[in-house]
Structure 1
Amino acid sequence: MAVAMIFGMWDKKTSLTGFTISDVVRSGLEVPSSSIGVYAGDEEFYRLYSHIFEPLLKEYHGLDEIPAHVSSLDPRRLTSVIQSEAPVLSTRCRVMRNLAGYGISREERLEVESLLATALEDLKDPISNWSSKQENDKYQVAAGIHRDWPEGRGIFYNDAKTFLVWVNEEDHLRIISMQKGADVKAVFDRLCRGIDAINKALLRHAQTGFAFHKQYGYLSSCPTNLGTGMRASVHVGVPPVFNDVGLRNKCRQLGLDVRGQHGETSEAEGGVYDLSNRQRLGRTEVDLLQTVIDGINTLHNTSTRK
């Protein structure tokens, strides 16, 4: 049935970027270890190919049905914080965003870069520093997202390096707030204010905003990021009472993903892990951040009782 559906789509392509079904599934075919194996070239993908990616999406996020998306970017709604005794080294919140009406062609990337450079100058705390960032993500390479690298890509950041905007890495925007320590509320507050300011600046300068779908939330290149598009993570020292397998099993029960310090495929070093919300879709940003807070506190309390 799946093969028949794919062959039935063979001659279709998105009007904005010209993404075909071959482009959509290339990363999964070339790199079978991919967790989901499909990429979107633009927002039209989510209409044209929904019958292919939606079953994968439900399985990944553990949903029987996908509800209407509801956002909550209000730090005051958090009900607790990470315990001060928990061995948290740093805290980071990021969201991905794409601009409505723009795809990932070379010309569109350059236009997006120019738009963002103008919009970011409007922020109350301008993030005018710029650096080129080289990446070698095999899944993105297979999907064709890295074409013309590094042209039109890079990072804007403030002087304190606590607020950053990645431009045209996987998505048009990765908006990031981070700092040392466990003050997750301060990190989230900075993120929320930054998202709002960037959205207003884009509307003012380009009459466009973030690509959004009433069910899927904020539209992303990788469907695993749909919904909030948010990944809230902490680098935390995990006590030796947890071995690697035990930690991963416990975190899955708590709704957390486990990574090494340097990304999805890296290993933990010195007992320090990157723990984050697994789910992005079907819940609000505050709910997901609260899951991380509660999960870290549970792990800490469990370890101190052993």
Structure 2
Amino acid sequence: MWQTDRPWKVKPPLEYALEKKYKPILENMLPRDPMSCFNLKRGSPKEEFPCLDGNYTCMGRILTLQMYSRQFNRATESGVIFDDIIRPGLENPGSSAGSVSVGCAAGDAQSYILFCDFFDRIIEAYHDHKMSRTQESDFNYDNLKGGDDFDSMYAISCEVSVSRAVEDFSFPMHCSRGERRKLLSLAKQVLSELAKDFPGSLTNLAELTQHCEERFLYQQVPPIELIKTAVGRDWPDARARWVSNDGSLVVWINTEDHLRLLSSRTDANIQEAFKCICVNLVKLEAFYKKWRHPFVWKEHLGWVVSSPAEVGTGLKASVIVRLSHIPQNKRIHDILERLRLHLHPTAKAGLYRVSNAPTIGFTEVGLVQLLVDGVKLLIRIEKRLENEGGIDDLVPAHKYSMDTVTLLKA
């Protein structure tokens, strides 16, 4: 029979002399939570929660006090905290009339893992993409159908750019001067290897002048957005630009990302621009692996870069198109949403930049195919409107997906 007047007691585990002696030493060898190393003078999550009134970024729409509280006491091994992550959206809250920005950036690759509760929701909302899907990559430019056959009366020029982050380095928002200089030194070694077969020259941003061609120009004073998000610290220290001798490829070093490859053309042959990117990006990846610093890749994210707006492929492709009727058409928003394209006016009247909206959920070839098919359809619609014809039969019934693009290629 149990004696109810006696509380049940659990005996403490036995401690042995040697274990007692070495236990503090063993505990000191365990990795500490990075946040425990900080002495941040902060209040409670409720006291520190930012004001999101009038914030039109993706971050501003998704972040709640409950989510903020869950991330509040976390820090990556390099010292990135959640307030660093959301700073871009607080510094630039956007407007109700403009396009929606993500409003956040990663300080290092670990940020996407440690703060996945937040980043996954941002990526799903911004790219209309389910994070349960794995990301695939395809640099076989021969799989691209078309892109060299646009109507030259409408398609004027094009460009393809790809961003990459290098393993074992913090991202531009968070990296130190030493890291940035090591990245530049590493890039010099890699680009000297590339130059053996594809000659080019590297110039520090401090040496660039206002006499550069417009497409190669990067101001010695960084844009205000880069200053606000700490990407522009110590500008232009350890920033550089490499240009191939034939001008077909530009590589930016330590700007918004560790590397950004850009191929632009004065015609609209995006097939050739994409080929140039694919061939040289694969070579650069091999050289970086040779130096034991591969590009950052995560199975569910694909190629990881600092902005969640470009994870997956890191690829942005665009074509400058002459349009006069479509931008004023009442169905323009439905058309662009279903084609999964962005349309922005350029400095020249009547010319618009058409670019891919998502960067994840498609392969590299799939994204460029999405743009190629979309631009061709926009030109068809523009021609129909010029003749005062109806366009209902040309408007896609559903959003384009990777499966849709595959069917269109077939």
Same fold (TM over 0.5): yes
> In the TM superposition, what are the counterparts of 1:155-170 in structure 2 within 5 Å?
155-170=241-256
Find out whether 1:194 has 2:280 as its counterpart: yes
Q: 1:83 aligns with which of 149, 158, 165?
A: 149
CA contact (8 A) 2:244 2:250 kept: yes
CA contact (8 A) 1:93 1:178 kept: yes
Return 5+ residue gaps in structure 2 as ranges. Answer: 1-62, 95-99, 206-217, 386-410
Q: 1:230 aligns with which of 315, 337, 342?
A: 315
The equivalent residue for 1:296 is 375
Distance in 2 (CA, whole Å) between partners of 1:217 and 1:67 is: 11
Distance in 1 (CA, whole Å) between partners of 2:330 and 2:188 is: 44
Structure 1 residue 23 displacement after superposition: 0.6
Distance in 2 (CA, whole Å) between partners of 1:160 and 1:102 is: 31
Q: 1:29 aligns with which of 74, 90, 98?
A: 90
Distance in 1 (CA, whole Å) between partners of 2:204 and 2:164 is: 20
Give the 3-state SS of the residue equivalent to 1:22 in structure 2.
Answer: helix
Q: Which deviations, in whole Å up to 9, do the C-alpha atoms of 1:85-122 show, x marking residues without a partner?
A: 24222111111100011112221111101100111011
Amino acid at match of 1:119: V
Distance in 2 (CA, whole Å) between partners of 1:282 and 1:12 is: 29
The equivalent residue for 2:75 is 13
Would the alpha carbon gap of residues 57 and 120 (structure 1) be closer, same or farther in structure 2, given more than 3 Å must change? same
The equivalent residue for 1:2 is 64
CA contact (8 A) 2:145 2:369 kept: yes
CA contact (8 A) 1:112 1:172 kept: yes
Would the alpha carbon gap of residues 131 and 5 (structure 1) be closer, same or farther in structure 2, given more than 3 Å must change? same
Q: 1:243 aligns with which of 328, 334, 342?
A: 328
Amino acid at match of 1:214: E
Amino acid at match of 1:200: A
The equivalent residue for 1:99 is 166
CA contact (8 A) 1:127 1:164 kept: no
Distance in 1 (CA, whole Å) between partners of 2:326 and 2:71 is: 51
Would the alpha carbon gap of residues 44 and 245 (structure 1) be closer, same or farther in structure 2, given more than 3 Å must change? farther
TM-score by length of 2: 0.69
CA contact (8 A) 1:67 1:215 kept: yes
Find out whether 1:67 has 2:133 as its counterpart: yes
Q: 2:359 aligns with which of 265, 275, 280?
A: 280
Distance in 1 (CA, whole Å) between partners of 2:330 and 2:315 is: 25
Give the 3-state SS of the residue equivalent to 1:178 in structure 2.
Answer: strand
Q: 1:209 aligns with which of 285, 294, 297?
A: 294
Distance in 2 (CA, whole Å) between partners of 1:66 and 1:130 is: 42
CA contact (8 A) 2:149 2:269 kept: no
Structure of greater relative contact order (alpha carbons < 8 Å, 6+ residues apart): 1
Structure 1 residue 245 displacement after superposition: 6.9
Distance in 2 (CA, whole Å) between partners of 1:64 and 1:78 is: 25
Find out whether 1:151 has 2:220 as its counterpart: no
Q: Percent identity?
A: 27
The equivalent residue for 2:201 is 128
CA contact (8 A) 1:128 1:157 kept: yes
Greater CA radius of gyration, 1 or 2?
A: 2
CA contact (8 A) 2:156 2:268 kept: yes
CA contact (8 A) 2:146 2:271 kept: no
Q: 2:113 aligns with which of 47, 53, 58?
A: 47
Would the alpha carbon gap of residues 28 and 83 (structure 1) be closer, same or farther in structure 2, given more than 3 Å must change? same
Structure 1 residue 58 displacement after superposition: 0.2
Find out whether 1:256 has 2:341 as its counterpart: yes
Q: Which deviations, in whole Å up to 9, do the C-alpha atoms of 1:12-56 show, x marking residues without a partner?
A: 22213x211111111112221162111101101011111012111
CA contact (8 A) 1:38 1:223 kept: yes
How many residue pairs align between the two structures? Answer: 298
Distance in 2 (CA, whole Å) between partners of 1:31 and 1:241 is: 30
